[in-house]
Structure 1
Amino acid sequence: MSNSIAFFKMPAIAAYQLAVKQGDAAVEKLAARKDVKAEVDYFRNNIQSVKSVEDLFKDRRMMKFILDATDLGKETDKMGFLKKVLTQKAEDSDALMNKLVDKRFKAAATLLQLGEKGLGQVQRESTKDDLAELYVKNKYNAGLATQNSGVPLAMYLKENASGVRSTYDILGDARLRHVVTTALGLPLELANQSVEAQAAAIEKRMKVSDLKDPKFVDKLAKRFLMASDTGSGTGGADQWKLNLFA
């Protein structure tokens, strides 16, 4: 049986329903693809021989793998900035990652713990497993985005909605914020209001407890996709990236 997996342009709802139907099987199929497996194997086979954090950043192929795994793959042209952020300690309130709106940097630093443990954490088997899994998942999401750019965001909502404890969790996550506000028909100008006002606007239209209901989450995801496909709502599927700099 072939390990190939292909992605084609599709209407948002159709692409989303296909992704939900295929589930983990599609991700596993992608993991077996030759080019994907080659990068995972390169990381696993070589990370133990890296002697220092400095050497890690000099290995462009390995860093590309790590950045792709931690959702920072498109930032490879900012290696100096990445090195500064990712080698600081996540719990340090003065660390640059704690001052950035984009929380991907802190999430990556927390996983890698280069500032706290050098290579100790990234060379652990459990971390290697996590990075390999994340790498494949992000490659899969990139493929979904070629079908329709809104689909990975809809899937992100589906996978993370149950962990939302308050409206502020939504507002603190650029992707969740974009999906929810778009699905609820809230305008871009909402970002100019206070955080309390933004939370109130969301709470007026939905209950956070509803995100525990898979049927509600599925309906919300589809509303987001319909709005993204028609160009209505808060500016299309890629607007969340622009909101990081708002």
Structure 2
Amino acid sequence: MDTNLRFSMLNRDLPGAKERTAKDPEIAREIKYYEENFSKVETVDDLLNDYRLYNFMMKTMGLEDMAYAKGMVRKVLVEGTDDSGALANTLKDKRFKELAEAFPFNKDGTIKGKFDWESEGLDPRMVLWSNTPGEEVDDVDRLAEYFTLKMPRDVIFTTQILADPALYEVITVAFDVPEEIINGPKSERIDWFDENIDIEALKKPSELKDTIAKYRDNLEIREADRTKGIVEQYIQVSFEEGEGEQNEGVRLALNFQRTGGNITSAYEILGSPALYQVVRTVLGMSESMVGTDIDNQAAVINEKFDIKKFQDPEEVDKFVKKFVILYDAQNGIGTAPSVQLFASNPGVGIPENVLTAVNALKFGG
């Protein structure tokens, strides 16, 4: 079945196609393993040393081809994306930044969400009292205990909450404080807390209990949403790979359909082999350009197409449709596809009806 036809058939019921993928026994087993075991990960090395979890992560992020580079992956994960100089932010391949954001770790290699009980700003008494000697107390339980002990006892001002990592953690989660506030200037955080949180009311036993309940509930919701998102992406990538086993063009088209709207620069295209192949095919870029100066290639892409158009879903749709038509044309003729597709006369060897279909897909602008 040709690329254009198969791609069109799948798009008539993409949810159904992905549901069938999720029911595949092998894929279902890997999903179950991830759901049951990722919560046990405490450090980046726990993840890297678990073959199944590591490969699940890499496949989910479309990085199977880089699974061998564990040292580089480790550096990406522990450095994160907060620092502009972090490795993930300096690489042209956007997949690594997406990896660091999807699987966040602290700089010491511990997974984010594991609370650092040696942080500055914590009350040593409450750190001691919230712990049970000889037992490993769950972070959530310990934070709840710390909050319950500390709030009514010592807190008077908003600045005290902002200065105490444990209090701040509980309240930002319980009250769903927006990310832009959490990561914003101190003055904006103070203003938000003063407007939305009544410290005196929060000290009452009923309010303390209610805040802890909201904290626990919101943590569970966030973790469930995160896991669901990772699993859905794993299914999507598995679905695309499965189609690629029959027709690589379909896989490329599905991948571009999913990710094309996120493209913001030509360098992101050049950093992704899958995106690059689609764009190079549609724009008629010569194979001789592959491996040449990256700035020159970026300039050619920008000259041929306005990247901003990818922000419009209709433009992405037109681009993908043009790709599947050209992909079928270049792979359905006898001589080398690259010669026929990228010849000085692009019409050589491509049927007139194909050229007509391609030319009918006009991009906006």
TM-score normalised per structure 2: 0.53
- CA positional deviation for 1:144: 0.9
Aligned equivalent of 2:111: 119
1:149-164 to structure 2, matched below 5 A, reads 149-163=248-262
Whole-angstrom CA distance in 1 between matches of 2:67 and 2:275? 24
1:141 partnered with 2:244: no
Aligned equivalent of 2:193: none
- CA positional deviation for 1:39: 0.9
78, 81, 99: which one aligns with 1:90: 81
Aligned equivalent of 2:35: 44
Whole-angstrom CA distance in 1 between matches of 2:302 and 2:280? 10
Indicate if the aligned counterparts of 1:30 and 1:140 stay in contact, CA closer than 8 A: yes
Aligned equivalent of 2:318: 216
Aligned equivalent of 1:198: 301
Count residues in correspondence: 222
Aligned equivalent of 1:65: 56
Q: CA RMSD in A?
A: 3.1
Q: Structure 1: which amino acid aligns with 2:324?
A: K
Whole-angstrom CA distance in 2 between matches of 1:110 and 1:207? 24
Over 3 Å counting, the alpha-carbon distance change for 1:107 and 1:207 in structure 2 is: closer
Aligned equivalent of 2:72: 81
Whole-angstrom CA distance in 2 between matches of 1:85 and 1:183? 32
- CA positional deviation for 1:227: 5.1
1:182-193 to structure 2, matched below 5 A, reads 182-188=281-287, 189=289, 192=293, 193=296
Indicate if the aligned counterparts of 1:179 and 1:221 stay in contact, CA closer than 8 A: yes
Indicate if the aligned counterparts of 1:211 and 1:217 stay in contact, CA closer than 8 A: no
What percentage of aligned pairs have identical amino acids?
23
Structure 1 unaligned spans of 5+: 1-9, 235-246
Name the SS of the counterpart of 1:42 in structure 2. helix
Structure 2 unaligned spans of 5+: 115-221, 343-365
- CA positional deviation for 1:224: 4.1
Whole-angstrom CA distance in 2 between matches of 1:129 and 1:25? 17
Whole-angstrom CA distance in 2 between matches of 1:30 and 1:218? 22
- CA positional deviation for 1:47: 1.9
Indicate if the aligned counterparts of 1:85 and 1:96 stay in contact, CA closer than 8 A: yes
Whole-angstrom CA distance in 1 between matches of 2:308 and 2:75? 39
Whole-angstrom CA distance in 2 between matches of 1:96 and 1:163? 20
User: Deviation digits for residues 16-61 of structure 1, max 9, x if unmatched?
Assistant: 2232234110111111222111111111112222332222222111
- CA positional deviation for 1:222: 2.3
Whole-angstrom CA distance in 2 between matches of 1:161 and 1:84? 27
- CA positional deviation for 1:115: 3.6
- CA positional deviation for 1:142: 0.8
- CA positional deviation for 1:211: 4.9
Whole-angstrom CA distance in 2 between matches of 1:207 and 1:108? 24
Indicate if the aligned counterparts of 2:269 and 2:276 stay in contact, CA closer than 8 A: yes
Whole-angstrom CA distance in 2 between matches of 1:217 and 1:194? 19
Aligned equivalent of 2:16: 25
Name the SS of the counterpart of 1:129 in structure 2. helix
Name the SS of the counterpart of 2:238 in structure 1. helix
Larger Rg belongs to: 2
Indicate if the aligned counterparts of 1:167 and 1:202 stay in contact, CA closer than 8 A: no
Q: Structure 1: which amino acid aligns with 2:81?
A: A
Q: Structure 1: which amino acid aligns with 2:325?
A: R
Indicate if the aligned counterparts of 1:30 and 1:136 stay in contact, CA closer than 8 A: yes
- CA positional deviation for 1:207: 8.5
